[in-house]
Chain A
Amino acid sequence: MQQILDAKGLQRTINRLAHEVIERNKDLERLAFVGIRTRGEYLAHRIARKIFELEGKQLPVGVLDITLYRDDLRGRLDQPVLKSTEILFDVKDKIIILVDDVLFTGRTVRSALNALMDLGRPARIELLVLVDRGHRELPIKADFVGKNVPTAKTHEIRVLLQEIDGDDSVYLVNHDRKKE
């Protein structure tokens, strides 16, 4: 298990992402965050808090549960528990920053895009991820990336956040025993 980001590094990455978001979106009025459950939610809140510190403006943050839109819902031995989507603002004509912890195959993002479209018609959706680990299976690309990490398919990126894991850290876990 190799540490990629420690608590300080993670905070710096989040700070940089917040700067990038406001740099590229001058019109803060239309900006809103949507975090994908579970860790995307907390990341979205942290970035929004940083933007509040920088600009004095509280941007709306919503939470998206993509369970109903997953393409692997059928045939799973263990059904994921369905939770609510909590987006308390109108997504119509908003610029939505979709937030997730790790970008891998792109299937989660595909589900999230469909789920968002069913809530209304945003003006634009941009994707923000903490870690991009490659191995895309769909034509999806992030607009804001915290860290690019080259990985093998046997690797796992483990993101820990204070809010649920009690620690801020990102690890690369190698599941291929022979090489370790």
Chain B
Amino acid sequence: MKLQNRHLLGLEGMSKDDITLILDTAESFKEVLERPIKKVPPLQGKTIVNLFFENSTRTRISFELAERRLSADVVNFTTSGSSVAKGETLKDTARNIEAMKIDMVVVRHSSAGVPHFLSRVVKANVINAGDGLHEHPTQALLDMMTLRQKYKTLEGLRVCIVGDILHSRVARSNIFGLTTMGAEVSVCGPATLIPRYIERLGVRVYHRLEDVIPHIDVLNVLRIQLERQKSGLFPSLREFHRYFGVTKEKIEKAQHPITIMHPGPINRDVELSADLADGPHSVILEQVTNGVAVRMAVLYLLGLSN
């Protein structure tokens, strides 16, 4: 078994078989993470660079742990104080990486398409760790892994992604992945934060949480970026919380348990109430654990594909 592509740039167009292979492999790695010695040798001698042009602690740590647990050598590159701050172009950065004989590149960038560009100019395997407003495939894979563990299958599962869909690469990757796996996906948020024509991706659009809650099994609550308020897309955090904040009172209207997910970091009591985040139906910490396993699976499958 082998993945179709030697890079992971996004979930758009990825086949059901490939997603299933990644999720199955990740389940096997989860067992490794429960051992006293959480390290296995398959990527011994491989060098991986984590190119983070945008700040992220969580995703970088998750990737770095996954890389080290597969016995790879890891180099971290962050933009502050680097050659990028000195005016180096992306292409030159890539060429330099190439010259240093790196085997795999994990890249995060504020512009969409950077991983795609890199995959064309370097020989290494490229993994997208988030590109602009485009995709964040490993996040969606870990979300799907978490749901598959809980519901056994994604087929027919009703998932609603709520919040700032417009600026969310997590939403886009989840929509591509979940629809491929046969789930029913909807999005919910203020009209200003929902991209036009998103229905064409096969999702239903709601503007009131009350309308969608009775018809779903899972709520994936997105982080609202506090600085968006300044751009005038929604009037105030208090108002956002009132209409789109997920709270116990709103959830109880469903009269059946709804699984709560969040990609983190949470703004407690803004997009998600604290009692739900810590409640019995929250799988937020499982998502974090599965994140390492899913990234190990992706690195393993791509790293051995050449």
Could you tell me if B1 and A118 are in contact, using CB atoms closer than 8 angstroms? no
A73→B1 contact, CB < 8 A: no
Q: A74-B304, A84-B27, A119-B37 are in contact. Are A68 and B1 (CB under 8 A)?
A: no
Of A76, A84, A114, A118, the contact of B28 (CB 8 Å cutoff): A84
Size class of the contact patch on chain A: 10 to 19
Residue numbers in A under 8 Å from B25 (CB-CB): 81-82
Q: Is B305 an interface residue when CB atoms closer than 8 A count as contact?
A: yes
Q: Shortest Cβ distance from B20 into chain A, in angstroms? A: 11
* B1–A79 CB distance below 8 A: yes
For A76, list chain B residues within 8 Å (CB).
304
Are A119's CB and B35's CB within 8 A? yes
Say which residue of B2, B21, B31, B301 sits within 8 Å of A85 (CB atoms): B31
Q: Do the beta carbons of B36 and A120 come within 8 Å of each other? A: yes
Per-position binary interface string of chain A over residues 158-174, scored 1 when its CB falls under 8 Å from any chain B CB and 0 otherwise: 00000000000000000
Provide the B1-18 mask, 1 if CB < 8 A to any CB of A, else 0.
110000000000000000
B304 touches A68 (CB 8 A): no
Q: Number of A-B pairs whose CB atoms are under 8 Å?
A: 44
Partner pick for A69 among B35, B36, B41, B305, CB 8 A cutoff:
B41
CA distance A153 to B87 in the complex (A): 60
A78-B1, A78-B2, A81-B24 known; A73-B37 Cβ under 8 A? no
The 8 A CB mask of A80-124 against B (1 = contact, 0 = none) is 111111100000000000000000000000000010001110000
Contacts of A41 in B (CB 8 A): none
Interface size class of B (residues with CB under 8 A): 20 to 34
A73 touches B304 (CB 8 A): yes
Contact indicator B41/A114 (Cβ below 8 Å): yes
- The answer, yes or no, to whether B84 is at the interface (CB within 8 Å) is no
A-B CB proximity, top 10 nearest: A68-B40, A84-B31, A82-B28, A84-B28, A68-B42, A118-B37, A81-B1, A82-B25, A79-B2, A83-B28
Please name 19 further chain A to chain B contacts, defined as beta carbons within 8 Å, in addition to the given A73-B42, A118-B35, A118-B40, sorted by A numbering: A65-B28, A68-B40, A69-B41, A74-B304, A76-B304, A78-B2, A79-B1, A79-B2, A79-B301, A79-B305, A80-B1, A82-B28, A82-B29, A82-B300, A84-B27, A84-B28, A118-B39, A119-B35, A119-B36
